[in-house]
Amino acid sequence: MLKLLLSTALAAGLASGACAQEITVGAANVSSYLDPGRDHSNVGSQFYYNAFDTLIGKNHDKLEAEWVPALATEWKLVEPKVMELTLRDGVTFHNGEAMTADDVVFSLNRMYQADFPPYVVRSRDRLSNFLKAEKVDDLTVRVTVEKEEPLWETLLNLQQVMIIPEDYTKALTGDPEVAEHDDFEAFSLAPVGTGPYRIAEFVPGERVVYERFDDFWGEKAPLAKATVQHIPETASRVTALKTGEADIVTNIAPDQLALIEADKNLRTVGSATPLFHVMIMNVNHPKLKDPRIRQALSLAIDRDTLNEALWLGKAVVPSTHTLEEYGDLYMPELKTFEYNPEKARQLLKEAGYDGFEVTFDTHPTYYTNGLLAAQAITEMWAEVGVKGRVNIAEKWSGRSPEMMTRNWSNPMYFADPFGSFGVMWAPNGPSEGEGRFNTDAQYAEIWERFRFSKDVEARKAAYAELMERIRQDPPVLPLYRPFESWAMRKDVSWAPKPGHIPYVLDFRAGSISFASN
């Protein structure tokens, strides 16, 4: 162990001594604020992991969950509903303060007992089972839940419960002893964490500059400085890479890959990101009330052709709402969604479809290939006799009663079916709350079993029941796991790690290096 530490320290020393490694990332999107607690966007998730830590860490080299110590070195259940965590000694925040149990309690309770509205919203959909965090002594903290929690580690590993400094935050505005709303607003412009990089400069929407934090508790950061610069236009991003203004660029559409691969100085990496692009269907729209119509709309979509055509076959088309990252709960054996135009035609006939127009709403640019897929889908509907029309708008139409169908994404907020389907399609969750999905007592009962059963098989059985409900009365069709690509200089060695949530730009030790040339 000591040897390993020594050699790493040596390597780190060499790296920083020989040449201060700096990189610039050209990103299609840069956050407007940086607060891991209130944020769960795909834009924000790029930024937090470099600068913040959770109590329980994860081995991100692996697809399945392997929990590792982070800010907590040990954790154990002391009662069925109480977890005790031992904190790491000698952790320092970027502003020089030492991390104590008070900071941890403050960070957790800002979510568990939230009263700052953006926290309340984020907490309600995934942390509602968590009641409180309490200090036992300077290095011990207890967390209490309402019902016995099968996903302890998963939910203590969330981005939303990354640790921030209490005194610093409270003192940002107003009374330094009280956490006011304005303190949290101010924090999101001047974020401070415990991670290997400190955020040296943040221009919202434009630029995030990381600098190596020398007092980091773990292995030192491999880069002295990393700048993430907003470059919205695709052509400009690719060009910036070529001119050397950027070393890595994000969001390369599959159609651009060949161009970059053709350059001997550049390369691309990609992965099927753990999120689904989905089509949602409004079950309460007067014309779509009959489940057969929605089944038909779903059956008419040839997702494999979409994959071949738009993603060069590199996306992943699922048979049900499941992801490989779920480990034991990965259930590819379920056949919830399929392509069957014959059946679609037949169902339309049975349901008495009279040729009314079905609109498909999409944002012009938000999802890679989103607009293309929308147009292709309406064309596929035409094949079975459905008159479709693409409706482009910036506005989120998911809550509008007039919305018929549209695209959306169901990201994996954490590696469990609860972290994707479970957040989006829970009873009284976002989808039902927006009035385009209905649940009943039976659905709620199944959901409860799926969420809280301690036995994996029981959870799987319950999830299968939920999927069957979705199949019979479909509000959603997962289209595919999109294949997201990054491009970089050939001598930069970086790739998205399989254990992360989508889009994390991980520049920690072991995640990025440079070829010797």
Partner 1 sequence: MLSYALRTLIRMVLTFFVIVTIVFFATRLSGNAVDFVIGEGMTTEDRDLLIKYYELDRPIWSQYLAFLRAFTDGQFGLSFIERRPVSEMVLERIWPSTQLLLSAVGLTVLVSIPLGIAAAIWRKSWIGSAVMVVAFLGYAVPNFVLAIVMVLLFSYWLNWLPVVGNGTALHFIMPTVALAGVLIAALTRFTRNAMLDVLGQDFMRTARAKGLPENAVILRHGLRNAGITILSVIGLQVAGLAASGSVVIEAIFAWPGIGDLLVSSALRRDYPVLQFGVLTVALAVIVINAAVDLAYAWADPRLRHTVKG
Partner 2 sequence: MMNPAVPAPSAPAAALQLWRSADAIQKAAIVIGLSLVLLAVLAPIVAPFDPNSQSLIARLRPPLGFERAKAGHLLGTDELGRDVFSRSLFGLRLTLMLAGLGATLGLLIGGTLGLLAGIVGGRTEASIMAAVDTQIAVPFTLVALFLLAILGSSIEVIVLVLGLAGWEQYARIVRGEVRRLMKLPFIEAARAAGAAPLRIAHRHLLPNIVSPLVVQFTLALSNIVLLESTLSFLGLGVQPPTATLGSMVGIGRDYMPTAPWIVAAPAMMILLVTFAVQILGDWLRDGADVRLRAR
Q: How many residues at the interface with partner 1, by CB under 8 A?
A: 47
| DSSP output for 39-57 | ---TTGGGTHHHH---SEE
Q: How many Cβ atoms are within 10 Å of 393's Cβ, its own excluded?
A: 11
User: Partners of 199 in the beta sheet?
Assistant: 210
Structure tokens at 80: 């069925």
Cα 291 from Cα 297, distance rounded (Å): 10
258 binds, among partner 1, partner 2, none (CB under 5 to 8 A by kind): partner 2
User: Which residues lie closer than 8 Å to 134 by C-beta, 6 or more apart?
Assistant: 105, 141, 142, 143, 144
Q: What is the spatial distance between Cα 114 and Cα 508, in angstroms, rounded to a whole number?
A: 30
The DSSP secondary structure of 311-323, one letter per residue, reads HTT-SB--SSS--
Cα–Cα distance for residue pair 132/105, rounded to 1 Å: 8
| Tokens (6 digits) for 320 | 């049900």
Q: Is residue 430 a contact point for partner 1 (CB under 8 A)?
A: yes
Q: Which parts of 328-387 interact with partner 1 (CB under 8 A)?
A: none
Mark the segment that binds partner 1 (CB under 8 A) among 8-16, 62-70, 379-387, 422-430: 422-430
**Which member of 139, 392, 458, 464 binds partner 2 (CB under 8 A)?**
392
CB of 387 to partner 1, least distance (A): 26
Q: Does 429 bind partner 1 (CB under 8 A)?
A: yes
The answer to whether 256 contacts partner 2 (rule: CB under 8 A) is: yes
Choose, by CB under 8 A, the member of 99, 231, 283, 306 that binds partner 1.
Answer: 231
- Binds 371, which of partner 1, partner 2, none (CB < 5 to 8 A, cut-off by type)? partner 2
Among 139, 398, 468, 513, binds partner 1 (CB under 8 A): 398
Using CB distances below 5 to 8 A depending on partner kind, what does residue 432 bind out of partner 1, partner 2, none?
partner 1
267 touches partner 1 (CB under 8 A): no
Site for partner 2 in 199-238 (CB under 8 A): 233-235, 238
- Does 7 help bind partner 2 (rule: CB under 8 A)? no
Q: Can you tell me whether residue 116 is helix, strand or coil?
A: coil
Interface of this chain with partner 2, residues 457 to 476, rule: CB under 8 A: none
Which of 297, 306, 424, 504 contacts partner 2 by CB under 8 A?
A: 306
Distance CA 318, CA 309 (A): 17
Range list of β-strands (E), 247-328: 248-252, 266-272, 275-281
**Cα within 13 Å of Cα(225), Cβ side:** 10
Mind spelling out the 3-state secondary structure of 438-507?
Answer: CCCHHHHHHHHHHHHCCCHHHHHHHHHHHHHHHHHCCCEEEEEECEEEEEEECCEEECCCCCCCCCCCCC
Q: State the DSSP code for 38.
A: T
User: 376 contacts which partner out of partner 1, partner 2, none, CB within 5 to 8 A by kind?
Assistant: partner 2
Of positions 139, 171, 200, 259, contacts partner 2 by CB under 8 A = 259
109 binds, among partner 2, partner 1, none (CB under 5 to 8 A by kind): none
Please give, one letter per residue, the 3-state secondary structure of 59-105: CCCCCCCCEEECCEEEEEEEECCEEEEEECCCCECCCCCECCHHHHH
By CB under 8 A, is residue 268 in contact with partner 1?
no
Task: Say which entry of partner 2, partner 1, none residue 245 contacts (CB below 5 to 8 A, set by partner kind).
Answer: partner 1
**What are the residues binding partner 2 (CB under 8 A)?**
233-235, 238, 253, 255-256, 258-259, 305-306, 308-310, 364-365, 371-372, 375-376, 379, 390-392, 394-395
- Interface residues with partner 1 (CB under 8 A) are 26, 32-33, 41, 117-118, 120-121, 124, 181, 185-186, 188-189, 203-206, 229-233, 235-236, 238-240, 242-243, 245-246, 394-396, 398-399, 408, 424, 428-435
